[in-house]
Amino acid sequence: DIQMTQSPSSLSASVGDRVTITCRASQSISSYLNWYQQKPGKAPKLLIYAASSLQSGVPSRFSGSGSGTDFTLTISSLQPEDFATYYCQQSYSTPPVFGQGTKLEIK
């Protein structure tokens, strides 16, 4: 299986900050990388698909980039509702694998 490693595992930031979360694949996955947001007690929500495409209805402050093995999720200006856990997921090969998650907390 392809392994997905996110960094950092947790992050403290303030409203208005610019935040970047990194996801690294154990081998090249081209642009087959998705990002999800999960709030406590809720299901994951798709934010970004195919590395950089914004899912419909997702605010434009979220963006994704990268290809090959290294990917980033950027939130340009943190809003109170953005404090959550974020997961990357590779869809290059079966089985699909998620990263371990990055918990974004309020500073």
Partner 1 sequence: QVQLQESGPGLVKPSGTLSLTCAVSGGSISSSNWWSWVRQPPGKGLEWIGEIYHSGSTNYNPSLKSRVTISVDKSKNQFSLKLSSVTAADTAVYYCARDLEGVVAAYNWFDPWGQGTLVTVSS
- Positions that interact with partner 1 (CB under 8 A): 30, 32, 34, 36, 42-46, 49-50, 55, 87, 89, 91-101
Find the shortest distance in angstroms from Cβ 73 to partner 1: 14
Question: What's the min distance (Å) between Cβ of 29 and partner 1?
Answer: 8
When the beta carbons of 34 and 75 are compared against partner 1, the nearer one is: 34
Q: Which residues, other chains included, contact 99 with Cβ-Cβ below 8 Å and sequence gap of 6+?
A: 4, 5, 6, 23, 87, 88, 89
CB of 82 to partner 1, least distance (A): 19
Closest approach, Cβ 105 to partner 1, in A, equals 15
Q: Which is nearer to partner 1, 77 or 93 (CB)?
A: 93
User: Which residue number, 3 or 12, has a Cβ lying nearer to partner 1?
Assistant: 3
- Of residues 31 and 74, the one with the C-beta less far from partner 1: 31
Long-range pairs for 72-77: beta carbons < 8 A, 24 or more residues apart: 72/20, 72/21, 72/22, 72/23, 73/20, 73/21, 73/23, 73/35, 73/47, 73/48, 74/18, 74/19, 74/20, 74/21, 75/18, 75/19, 76/18, 77/16, 77/17, 77/18
